[in-house]
A and B are shown apart, each in its own frame.
Chain A
Amino acid sequence: MEPKDYLKDITEIKQLMNKSSRFISLSGLSGVLAGIYAIIGATVAYWLVEGYSDGTLILEGKTYGLVLLDLALIAFLSIVTAVVLTTKKAKKQDEKVWDNTSKRLVVNFLIPLLTGGIYILIVLNQQKYGLTAALMLIFYGLALINASKYSIGNIRYLGFIQTILGLICALFPDYGFWIWVLGFGVMHIIYGLWMHIKFDTNY
């Protein structure tokens, strides 16, 4: 065998390993949009809380329900955007959207995320809502770290950033709102842009 062939072998081995175990079509742009939704949603929540209940949030209040609805809307829109843009990208790359790699990615992402979501609902029902922003950031970060083995783009590092921000947020609950905006809004936009430039534009 020629030396060139060995190099080709190694490249092909790496490609096959990635292709068979990682879902590569995650869209960076959907991260940017998720960040924008988060910032818009946070602005709405800020306006609701400051404007209608003098800066306090009571569990039984109408404002509380609206804030929850606002959060659910952010999550829903982010997921829909991610699914649509990722499907588009997969089609462009001639990859299947729903195969073993994407199934594994989704399952491993959802395990910490759903655990966290249920946990947050439980503590909210016990009237302890001081750490909600911190808990959201921590569990979301852990979900990203857990899912990163099955995708590209080092979403592992985004996971670390979110988890650390969550811990900082727990230390300074007074800044919870702003740290939440930093994590879910600003970090998503920065990371999504970086991923978009690095991975989306090559195709």
Chain B
Amino acid sequence: MSIITNINKVFDHRIRLGIMSILMVNEYADFNTLKELLGATDGNLASHAKALEKATYISVEKQFIGRKPNTRYATTKLGRAAFKKHIDALEKLINTQ
């Protein structure tokens, strides 16, 4: 069996890896925080967040703070497990080289 099998296609992008990394160590993060930390554009971040949401790796919570809409993201249990597996696979790949 190849170790490549544990590399998760859903995480195969810088922004998606970034979103997951931030959410792994924070209870939640809102859209603007993610945008600032990752240096991504609105559209770019939204589409990658959507992909992670579709895989049910992150959960999305929309609310209003005053009049401003605010979107909060958090990891799901499935997402955390998948991300850990992905990181382990990456580390193994690096170590075998």
Q: Is the CB of B18 within 8 A of A16?
A: yes
Q: Which A residues fall within an 8 A CB radius of B?
A: 1, 3, 6-7, 9-10, 12-14, 16-17, 19-21, 100
Q: How far is the CB of B11 from chain A (nearest CB, A)?
A: 9
Q: A21 contacts B25, CB within 8 Å?
A: yes
B94 and A17 contact, CB distance less than 8 A: no
A13: chain B residues at CB < 8 Å are 17-18, 21, 87
Report, nearest first, the 7 A-B pairs whose CB atoms are least far apart: A21-B25, A16-B21, A20-B22, A13-B21, A17-B25, A3-B97, A6-B90
Which residues of A sit under 8 angstroms from B17, Cβ to Cβ? 9, 12-13
Are B14 and A16 neighbours in the complex by a CB distance under 8 Å? no
Question: Is B91 in contact with chain A by the CB < 8 A criterion?
Answer: yes
> Which of the four size classes fits the interface of chain B?
10 to 19
Digitize B28-52: 1 where CB-to-A-CB distance is under 8 Å, 0 elsewhere: 0100010001100000000000000
Within 8 Å of chain A (Cβ to Cβ): is B93?
yes
The interface residues of chain B, by DSSP majority, are classed as: helix
Contact status of A10 and B37, CB under 8 A, knowing A16-B21, A20-B26, A21-B26: no
Cα separation A9 to B11 with both chains bound (whole Å): 11
Q: Which residues of B contact A7 (CB under 8 A)?
A: 94
Are A17 and B22 touching (Cβ within 8 A)? Answer: yes
Q: Is the CB of B21 within 8 A of A10?
A: no
Instruction: Tell me if B90 and A12 are in contact (CB < 8 A).
Output: no
CB of B10 closer than 8 Å to a CB of A: no
List A contacts of B14 (CB < 8 A). Answer: 9, 12
- Cβ of B60 < 8 Å from any Cβ of A? no
Interface centre among B21, B25, B97 (most CB of A within 10 A): B21
What are 25 inter-chain pairs, A to B, with CB distance below 8 A? A3-B93, A6-B93, A7-B94, A9-B14, A9-B90, A10-B87, A10-B90, A10-B94, A12-B21, A13-B17, A13-B87, A14-B21, A16-B22, A16-B38, A17-B21, A17-B25, A19-B37, A20-B21, A20-B22, A20-B26, A20-B29, A20-B37, A21-B25, A21-B26, A100-B33
- Point out the residues of chain A lying under 8 angstroms from B93, CB to CB: 3, 6
B24 within 8 A of A: yes
A25 CB → nearest B CB, Å: 15
Give Cα A12–Cα B13 distance, bound, in whole angstroms: 12
B90: chain A residues at CB < 8 Å are 6, 9-10
